[in-house]
Amino acid sequence: MTTRLPITVTVNGEARERAVEPRLLLSDFLRHELGLTGTHVGCEHGVCGACTVHVDGRAVRSCLLFAVQVHGREVATVESLATEARPETLHPLQQAFREAHALQCGFCTPGFLMSLLPFLAENPDPSEREIREALSGNLCRCTGYQNIVAAVRLAAVKLRETAP
């Protein structure tokens, strides 16, 4: 059997220790070792963006990283956005997605959410072109993107209103 390496990763604020094979993808580590199945896997070659998570606050594709590469780092997944799956407890970006009907099957959605959060943090009032550019690294096969664009606009307003 392959050697396992001990790693410590802070995931959604909680320190997690595991011994993992060096080849274990971060996406598989999150989903199958930690049971954080909100992060989805669509292509495993870095194109679809469904597996997007944050590593030290930056959006990255967890299918293009090995778990050992995030040793000592902070990872955030979609599960960090809302404590409960109720309309009123959702993050403003999640609420905007619901209100604008920006998801259908919902499989790509966690990746979109995680790609968008750093984008909105840097661009609190983005133009449509900026939004579409920001979305272009994530594939959605259901919505045609139109309502996702609308959701980002709506989220930008919500986030500006709630900003301290």
Which pairing describes strands 58-61 and 74-76: parallel, antiparallel, or unpaired? Answer: unpaired
Binding to another protein by CB under 8 A, coded x per residue (else -) over 76-115, reads -xxx-xx-xxxx--x---x--xxx-x-xxxxxxxx--x--
Residue 120 found at the interface with another protein (CB under 8 A): no
> In whole angstroms, how far apart are CA 140 and each of 44, 104, 108?
15, 9, 6
Helices (H) and strands (E) in the chain, counts: 5, 5
Among 5, 47, 55, 64, binds another protein (CB under 8 A): 47
Write the single-letter amino acid at 110: P
DSSP label of 76: E
Residue 3 found at the interface with another protein (CB under 8 A): no
Residue 149 found at the interface with another protein (CB under 8 A): yes
Least spacing, CB of residue 56 vs another protein, in Å: 20
HSE-CB of 4 using CA atoms within 13 angstroms: 9
The footprint of another protein (CB under 8 A) covers 1, 21, 23-24, 31-32, 35-45, 47-48, 50, 77-79, 81-82, 84-87, 90, 94, 97-99, 101, 103-110, 113, 131-133, 135-149
